Amino acid sequence: MERASSILKAGTVTLVMLVLSASLPIAAADAAPGTKDPVTRPIYVTQAPIVLLKDMHSGAILFSRGADKRFAPASMAKVMTAYVVLDLIKKGELSSEKLFTVSEATWKKWNGSTGGSTMFLRSGEKVSVDDLLKGLITVSGNDAAAVLAVGIDGSEEVFVKRMNDMASKIGMKSSRFGTPNGWPDGGVTKVSADDLVTLADRLIREHPDGYARYFSIPRLQHGKSPAGKPIVQPNRNPILGRFAGADGLKTGHTAEAGYCFLGSAKRGGRRLIMVVAGMESEKARRDEAERLMTWGFEQWEGRKIVSAGAKVGHVEVGKGRSPMVGAEPGVAVQMTVPKGYSGGYRAVMRSRAPLPAPVARGTPVADLIVTPDGLPPQTTPLIAAADVGRGGWLARLRTGFYRLTGW
């Protein structure tokens, strides 16, 4: 059952921030109504066939073209590989210091002479998960992706099943993976820009330390040339080090989709996530990415509504040790509006309840939907503020009593 709770209306941002910054549940507040007329949105002009720009802290889609179109992501598929690996590390099922051995078969398939982008692994070399993640993201190592897949699941095919299961779990509705590195596979691997932004959003929210560690390394030194000199390769991110605040994610290139990029940047407390695909050259991809990000930061602004960790409301838990769990934002919630916006907004927390126990702290449990006057709704996920384990018969009895009485 979908439930909407705790509606708030306000004519000014100041009043709303006062109500929510006090860590009170979202409640009705009387104020002079803001404008209900459509707001003039900043104009962005582009020739790119696929473009998507999202403000992560509000969920606002600032620009979208072809976001649902499926295309081959090439090396952008490695972001899903990284997400799966980081998830295993977070759950304690894999150590970043674990060593995997590069098999002869993997080396033959993915060495630099036959397997495209490489971190120059050698047959028989033992490499840590930590170093493989660095090679996977920084230099787009196809060999690194394969060694991770085989080391974790015994084969690339089994690991790919894990990737697809994860994609389904996190809401990537249009995507399917056929390889851990995005190598051409006869059209099996396809994604959409909308799904790629969903993936990037989840990775950055759920694995902030991993994102900071692996996605903004300017260059990687690994291996030696035939002459015995260290091999140093630059990060392939086209705006890293060029655009202030740019800090990660991944490029891709296929004959079908052209030059593509899934990127993110943070400025002034706002984080934007973008996709551009179908560009004709590396330069066109870089220029479009910089221009899109500049427009997103300069023509739009964020208005803070709820601080990170503030209790927004509660969600019912079924058969748990506690009948309720607090819902809070993992990052500060903002609404994104054009520069100079003077309207108000309406906010509602929405969840599916009851949640089945157990519920782990940090698990998405609800959405905070903010609708600025004259603009489309903006959705920010809320996470569980605590762990709620499975309860026995006494806990179930208490839950039933709570549903009847509210106590």
3-state secondary structure of 19: helix
**What's the mean pLDDT when you consider all of the chain?**
87
- 150 has a pLDDT exceeding 50: yes
Alpha carbon separation from 114 to 106, 121, 148, 270, 380 (Å, rounded)? 11, 13, 19, 41, 44
Residues 271-297, buried b or exposed e (16+ Cβ, 10 A)?
bbbbbbbbbeeeebbbebbbebbebbb
Longest Cα–Cα distance in the chain: 78
- The Cα–Cα gap between 89 and 129 comes to 10
Residues 369-400: tens digit of each pLDDT: 999 999 999 999 999 999 999 876 666 566 55
State the pLDDT at residue 391. Answer: 75
Question: How far is CA 238 from its chain centroid?
Answer: 19
State the pLDDT at residue 9. Answer: 39
The H or E element containing residue 258 is: strand 258-267
- 25 has a pLDDT exceeding 50: no
Is residue 159 very low, low, confident or very high in pLDDT (cuts 50, 70, 90)? very high
Tell me what percent of the residues of the chain surpass a pLDDT of 90: 73
Mean pLDDT of the region 145-166: 98
Mean pLDDT of the region 151-176: 97
- The Cα–Cα gap between 190 and 185 comes to 10
3-state secondary structure of 150: helix
